[in-house]
Structure 1
Amino acid sequence: MTNTKQVCIIGVGLIGGSIALSIKETFPEYEIVGIDTDLSIIHEAISMGVVDWGTIDLNQGVEKADIIFVATPVKATEYIIKQLCQAQLKPDCIVTDVGSTKENIYESARCFQEKSISFIGGHPMAGSEKSGVKASNRRLFENAYYILTPSDWTPQHAVDVLKNVLESTKAEIIVMSSKVHDEVVGAISHLPHIVASALVNFVREKKDNPYYTALAAGGFRDITRIASASVEMWRDIVISNRESMLEILTEWERHIADIKQAIDVNDIVQIEQFFDTAKNFRDDLPIRQQSLIHQAYQLNVDVPDHPGVIGNIASVLGRNGVNIRNIYITHNRERGEGAMRLTFVSRDVQQRAYEVLTTAGYGVQIED
């Protein structure tokens, strides 16, 4: 047992539980310890085989750990790291987290430096609409990016050890500084959430005119889907990434000002270039199975407006073993979309549904 690595998961939820399952599958000899403030979650995690044993006592849970994953929300992570700095950890222990922002956490973790404890920030760029240990999935991180942001006092050996363990997740590991992480993620994830919420609030202010909410049920609903994410989580993320977000929002204001100016002076060339540049760049973006913004795998189905059509499509898919996550009827067809939008749990299921429906004679478009 002395040669067996012990991995401690603080916060046994979706992310922590999924990391634990991935490690257990690849390294069955490792001992997985769960720590949570809710004892019932610990009992559930043990019964599911997510962890080998667990406790609500932080000090008891971490004292023999070789690797500690702090798998809690950003705000709680900073507090837990301060607690870990006061705990008795093994001299060669590696501490990592899973937060969406890194600079604030990195600063909190400086207390490890004087103890020669390795700290490596982590951010698995994957998630699910489900939450809690029940939603744990050993394949959650497959093909996703998993970013590591090592502290400047952490030796390369410790980074290599953590990378080796994380290979069990089948994620693509990328190493960068915490500052670069916050700048990039702020632009491609945090800003879109702010913009989506701003768009929704903009239309909400015009709700006295019923046409706004009626016509917003189509494309507008799609591009603002992420505004329905957890309010508490995004509040904490934006506050935690304050410096980067202020710089990013200043740049964003410049882009809005530029297109506003072009519209004001009727600059046709500039307006066309604005849309053309964006279109070309987006069309060239790589498609990955996982991303910072949870992917919606959708099909648009062009169907006639008559009774029974929804049931027919559902029956065709059901007979072929295809499960539909959600069905939505669209009325705004200005983007050339079908009258029915179907959502699926994965790209594989989406592709299977496409094949089944096209074979059945329906006009189907894959929504990218």
Structure 2
Amino acid sequence: MTTIFIKGLGLIGSSLTRAIRKRHPTFTIIGNDADPQTTAYALKHHLIDQSTRELTAAVAADFIILATPVTEIINDLQQLAQLPLKKSVIITDVGSTKQAVLKAALPLQEKGITFIGGHPMAGSHKTGVTAGRADLFENAFYFMIKTKVPDDAYLALQNLLQGAHVKWLLLSAQEHDQLVGQISHLPHVIAAALVNQTQVFFADSPLGMRMAAGGFKSITRIASSDPTMWSSILQSNSAIIIQQISQYVNELQKIQKAIMEDDHDQIFSFFKTAKNSRDELGPEKVGQLPNFFDLFINIPDQVGALAAITQLLALNKINLVNIHILEIREDLDGVLQLTFMRENDRAQAVKILTHAHYTILRKD
């Protein structure tokens, strides 16, 4: 019988557990989490078969999955190197940075233990075991890091996580850290900085933060992410993040200079270049990370307007990943952002909502 040991039953860990359970219902899953309420929930809902507070329980495992913050993953790898693990065990992680993790895994690899660095590029602003979903990673990229491990080890991990329905991508640790630093870590820093700066700016005007809606809420949504996790990420990818922040500050200084000098051409070029680059993003061009599909429609400021739309989609068995009201004011239509996991779900929603006389604004 195959035994899985997974440490960390938050959004990512519990979603992987659900995917494994769905595809491999006979596998034994041992769950470890610092929060006893989390493991109690996981046991009650049959996400895991056993719970433990001890890392030593991993000695019985055929697969070990570390789904905690990066600093904790590093510490656990050091401890696992001291345990009498199965020689055939495959250890993996889901950390958002990889160079520091691979360095911590060296003692294990020197003992002949297989370690495969991993990172699913999917998530949510929601956290915790209750937010997990078996389809959280569907159509998203799942990075595996190139190391000196047998090809059949990669295949074994892919088979274990087959129920997640991800797009596997193999790359080096340095490539990974630079890539996610730019498209994930830096945007989180920017979003948090913008929220903090806006809070200070409106310190004497409580109305200001209350009025911060529309575009502000859209571009700062990721600032609601788990601060413990993101502190760990930045500390483990510090050199790359520092360089990327410097480059971003340079971009801000260039547009600041153009505004100060009333340089119309430079200001126009700043926005034109960004628009052209942003318009090139999409699954048919460079892929989406994660692979979500957005639909924006007008919604009237009326009681029951939102419920009517969600009920219409539910009746047609169209699954929504997220709903976000971007703007709604008295006597004016608001903008409703609907997010779908699959492109065909969005296409079907467009047909249904158009037939119901809703106005489609755009698709991203």
TM-score by length of 1: 0.83
1:300–1:367 CA contact under 8 A, matched in 2 = no
Q: How does 1:1-368 map to 2 (within 5 A)?
A: 4-59=1-56, 61-151=57-147, 153-207=148-202, 208-209=204-205, 212-213=208-209, 216-287=212-283, 291=289, 297=294, 299-301=296-298, 303=300, 309-312=302-305, 314-315=307-308, 317-318=310-311, 321=314, 325=323, 327=325, 329-331=327-329, 339-344=333-338, 346-347=340-341, 354-366=350-362, 368=364
Per-residue deviation, 1:149 = 1.4
Task: Specify the code of the residue in structure 2 equivalent to 1:180.
Answer: E
Q: Is the 8 A contact 1:218 1:331 kept in 2?
A: no
1:335 corresponding residue in structure 2: none
Q: In the superposition, relative to structure 1, how do residues 14 and 320 fare at CA in structure 2: closer, same or farther (>3 Å)?
A: closer
Aligned length: 354
Conserved 8 A contact 1:70-1:77: yes
Residue deviations 1:56-80 (CA, integer Å, cap 9, x gap)? 2221x21122221011122221221
Where 1:205 maps in the other structure, the secondary structure is helix
SS of the equivalent of 1:33 reads strand
Shift of 1:313: 5.5
CA distance, structure 1, for counterparts of residue 307 and residue 241 of structure 2: 44
Give the Cα separation in 1 of the matches to 2:206 and 2:39: 49
Residues 210-261 of structure 1: CA distance to partner in whole angstroms, max 9, x if unpaired? 6744653222222112122222222221122111101111211222222233
* Structure 1 residues not aligned, in runs of 5+: 333-337
Please, what TM-score do these two structures have when normalized by structure 2?
A: 0.84
Q: 1:262, 1:271 within 8 Å by CA — same for their partners in 2?
A: yes
Task: Give how far 1:316 is off.
Answer: 5.7
How many angstroms does 1:89 deviate by? 0.7
State the Cα distance separating 1:273 from its structure 2 match.
Answer: 2.4
Q: SS at the partner of 1:90? A: coil
For the structure 1 residues 313 and 51, does the alpha-carbon distance in structure 2 shift closer, same or farther, using more than 3 Å as the test?
Answer: closer
Identity %: 36
Partner SS state of residue 63, structure 1? helix
CA distance in 1 between partners of 2:312 and 2:281 (Å): 35
Q: Is the 8 A contact 1:120 1:159 kept in 2?
A: yes
* 91-100 or 25-34: bigger deviation: 25-34
Q: Which moved more, 1:345-354 or 1:71-80?
A: 345-354
Q: CA RMSD in A?
A: 3.1
Displacement, 1:38? 4.4
Structure 2 CA distance, aligned partners of 1:159 and 1:318? 42
CA distance in 1, matches of 2:247, 2:357: 48
